[in-house]
Structure 1
Amino acid sequence: MSLVHGAAAAETALPRQIADAIAAAGGWLPFDQFMQLALYAPGLGYYAHGSPKFGALPASGSDFITAPELSPLFGRALAAQVAQSLRATGTDEVWEFGAGSGALAEQLITGLQALGQPLARYTIVELSASLRARQQERLAPLMQAQPGLSITWASRLPDSLRGVVVGNEVLDAMPVQLLARHGGEWWQRGVTNSPTNPPPAQAQPAPAAINSVAIAFRWEDRPTALHPPFPVEGEHDYVTEIHPQAHAFVTTVAEALARGGAGAAYFIDYGFPEAEYYHPQRHMGTLVCHRAHQVDDDPLADVGRKDITAHVNFTGVALAAQDAGLDVLGYTSQARFLLNCGIAQMMEAAELPTRANAMKLLAEHEMGELFKVIGLATAGHGAALGFEAGDRTHRL
């Protein structure tokens, strides 16, 4: 499927597929199921078709930039932590989830090589065929230059694994359930497009044109027994997210590492611990969309043509991992983690443009504070380099 055809298909066929799913579900679809289709419907969802996603400027057709695209020093610094964990666990494999353009894989492989750290296999778990093709193209020179290194792709984790798992901006792209509090009661927010079932007053239509027929997706709240894992003070109206899919994913990774008996995992993403996530003043939640390097808060419009994302509840991540048998190595800001891993020294040796971009990884008003890093490991790993100073585990 070409890039143009993939984007056009998302614009036309995807709204109809979602409308059919709503009809099949009785006229109402929980938001996490809507988000799953919007992002991952085969061949149509945002991450399933071939449109550009990662890049520095809107002119490239991209929608956002991630840390590895911003600066190669991100992966080089992370490589120092990965190398330490490979040694601590006596393993020689790295697994990366959601590798995007392949930039982080390239940086980690070359960074580990520069550190003299043996690496037998690098496996990318990638569901998107278009992104997998881009990664394979980017990493082909490395595969040719290092015939002793196996770079492979998988669609799922094995039941048991030994090695280091890395996920940069993976958890934020996992579908979330939306909850809304009205009059002190919690409701689950879902999506409908049924004209025979008028939405409540808070619903907002978002028309999606398909074959000259307008499909208007609307919010509709229904009673639920669900509630946030942390009590939200007050009785004011409040919208937020819960993350069962992300926490189930972390559980799966943790159980696989626990069965393997030796390994570690590092997740880098934007988010908060529970007490901050469910702060009374965060009454509109964290759900946002990204398109052409602009942010909006309407996931029901332009379905399939923009990213949908929510911040990560790192307390939930830590608890899921602990319940599955892993230790929490640490939790801190991206800036502190990268500084602990030696990025300042790397910046001193780099040219000015590289230093300037790397500063965006560290600056508090850029990515340095909003993004966090959590480290998890099997028993006996020992202290982790990235959390030597500024560890915030006590705030989870």
Structure 2
Amino acid sequence: MQPKPRGVVTQSPAGRKASSLPPPDPAAQAHSLALQEEIRARIIAAGGWISFAEYMEMALYAPGKGYYMAGQQRFGAAGDFITAPELGSVLGRVLARTLAPGLGHDGILEFGGGSGALAAQIHAALPQVPYHLLEPSPDLQAQQRARCPTVQHLREFPSEWQGVFLANEVLDAMSVAVVEKMPDGSLREMGVMADANGFAWAPSPQPLPAPLLQPLRPYLADWPVGYRTEVCPAATAWLQSLAERLQRGRILLIDYGQEAAAYYHPQRYRGSLRAYHRHHLLEEPFYWPGLCDLTADVNFSTLMETAVASGMRIVWYGPLARFLVSHGLPEVYAELQAQAGAEQRLALNNEIKKLTLPQEMGERFQVLILEKGKEA
């Protein structure tokens, strides 16, 4: 079992063929088949083709059926991947130290929140600070309440906020448009069609829309035919919305990804889109929809450009390992080690390795801190 692999390799890993995995149990198959019927109906209604972004949105977030909206185990050893807060409390404690000096009267609003591990860690370190979660999944809301009963769940995005917006591994789960270079040198959006075997890739019959083409123009000439990559307008729109609603305070984003020059490097010719099921990286993104996670790297250059254009200031940007060391990891480590027994110290050392080693999360994750207005 490994942590969820992070995509900074120059080429997406080949992954495992779905045919090599044991089939899901009958109940899981029935769940997926119900979602597949919804997706198939959407494709038929659209004339036989939908964008991959639309497919990904349904596969992950269809009410009651999408991967994040149903009740299956997702996080930890029994799930499909492990996130940094599931390893231990180091990340939460460092974040608490980082956020404490500049909190506004609204406190912290964490998006998503997963199992609630990060919320519990930060809230334990900052018990007097209001902590809120915005989580669309009823099942995950229940898990979060059980793990941290004192946090508050919001039903909708607040129109104004003074404090902190926090997102750990949220952007990688936003729906992406997939683009491929055709033999004539043009770019086409790759979408999804339904066939007798399920779902398959198919290029759009229409030229690539300007919003998808524009960020790719500087790199297009260097790409070989068949080069495939992703664009995520949803992330840009989401960050713009945060910037508009934040009156004063900070936005802190943690995710795996890189800047545009690396993101669109010619050697990354298969892009970064990937699927995970039971800690296995899969070649096929159409494997049992609703039962596997779909994810893509984050383009941090686009986020930083969007932030500046939206009136935000970039306070800090860099890899997770450097962020941790420069924001209190030595002190946090000393505190935890002093309180730990032999087994706990071993677990703590392993956690530090996972968070800081380049081949683990240390270089594959990036941290971006943005600020608006004077510090609260």
Q: Same fold (TM over 0.5)?
A: yes
2: CA distance between counterparts of 1:100 and 1:367?
A: 18
| Residue of structure 2 equivalent to 1:378 | 372
CA offsets, 1:206-229, max 9 Å, x none? x3xxxxxxxx20110124233261
1: CA distance between counterparts of 2:263 and 2:223?
A: 17
SS at match of 2:359: coil
SS at match of 1:175: coil
1: CA distance between counterparts of 2:268 and 2:189?
A: 18
2:283 partner letter: D
- Check conservation: 1:79, 1:108, Cα contact below 8 A: yes
CA offsets, 1:174-197, max 9 Å, x none? 0000100012110000000156xx
Give the deviation of 1:342 after TM superposition.
Answer: 1.1
2: CA distance between counterparts of 1:12 and 1:311?
A: 28
| Residue of structure 2 equivalent to 1:328 | 314
RMSD (CA atoms): 1.8
Indicate whether 1:179 and 2:179 are aligned: yes
Give the deviation of 1:91 after TM superposition.
Answer: 3.3
Give the deviation of 1:235 after TM superposition.
Answer: 4.4
2: CA distance between counterparts of 1:250 and 1:123?
A: 18
SS at match of 2:352: helix
2: CA distance between counterparts of 1:85 and 1:288?
A: 37
| Residue of structure 1 equivalent to 2:71 | 50
- Check conservation: 1:74, 1:358, Cα contact below 8 A: no
- Check conservation: 1:290, 1:306, Cα contact below 8 A: yes
CA offsets, 1:40-96, max 9 Å, x none? 0000000000000000x2xx2x1000000012111001111111221xxx4351000
1:54 partner letter: F
| Residue of structure 1 equivalent to 2:355 | 361
| Residue of structure 1 equivalent to 2:148 | 139
1:354 partner letter: L
Indicate whether 1:254 and 2:254 are aligned: no
- Check conservation: 1:6, 1:44, Cα contact below 8 A: no
Give the deviation of 1:324 after TM superposition.
Answer: 1.9
CA offsets, 1:155-204, max 9 Å, x none? 33111111111100000000000100012110000000156xxxxxxxxx
- Check conservation: 1:228, 1:241, Cα contact below 8 A: no
2: CA distance between counterparts of 1:279 and 1:256?
A: 34
Indicate whether 1:234 and 2:243 are aligned: no
1:177 partner letter: A
2: CA distance between counterparts of 1:155 and 1:132?
A: 11
Indicate whether 1:129 and 2:115 are aligned: no
Indicate whether 1:224 and 2:207 are aligned: yes
Equivalent of 1:14, from 7, 17, 35? 35
2: CA distance between counterparts of 1:318 and 1:125?
A: 23
2: CA distance between counterparts of 1:361 and 1:5?
A: 37
2:237 partner letter: A
2: CA distance between counterparts of 1:362 and 1:6?
A: 39
Change (3 A) 1:271 1:337: same
CA offsets, 1:110-131, max 9 Å, x none? 1224xxxx41x21100000100
- Check conservation: 2:249, 2:374, Cα contact below 8 A: no
Equivalent of 1:80, from 97, 102, 114? 97
Change (3 A) 1:7 1:132: farther
Give the 5 Å matches for 1:81-230: 81-86=98-103, 90-113=104-127, 118-119=128-129, 121-140=130-149, 143=150, 151-183=151-183, 184-194=185-195, 207=197, 216-222=198-204, 223-225=206-208, 226-227=212-213, 229-230=215-216
| Structure number with higher relative contact order (C-alpha < 8 Å, ≥ 6 residues apart) | 2
1: CA distance between counterparts of 2:371 and 2:333?
A: 29
SS at match of 1:304: coil
SS at match of 1:48: coil
Give the deviation of 1:5 after TM superposition.
Answer: 9.7
Structure 2 regions of 5+ residues with no counterpart? 1-24, 338-344
1: CA distance between counterparts of 2:267 and 2:91?
A: 33
1: CA distance between counterparts of 2:106 and 2:328?
A: 22
| Residue of structure 2 equivalent to 1:286 | 272
2: CA distance between counterparts of 1:46 and 1:290?
A: 11
SS at match of 1:367: helix
2: CA distance between counterparts of 1:76 and 1:288?
A: 30
1: CA distance between counterparts of 2:168 and 2:289?
A: 24
SS at match of 1:365: helix
User: How many pairs are equivalent?
Assistant: 336
- Check conservation: 1:38, 1:303, Cα contact below 8 A: yes
Give the deviation of 1:7 after TM superposition.
Answer: 3.9
Give the deviation of 1:379 after TM superposition.
Answer: 2.9
SS at match of 2:224: coil
CA offsets, 1:244-278, max 9 Å, x none? 00111111111100xx2x11010000001111111
2: CA distance between counterparts of 1:334 and 1:181?
A: 33
SS at match of 2:360: coil
- Check conservation: 2:258, 2:298, Cα contact below 8 A: yes
1: CA distance between counterparts of 2:145 and 2:32?
A: 27
| Residue of structure 1 equivalent to 2:45 | 24
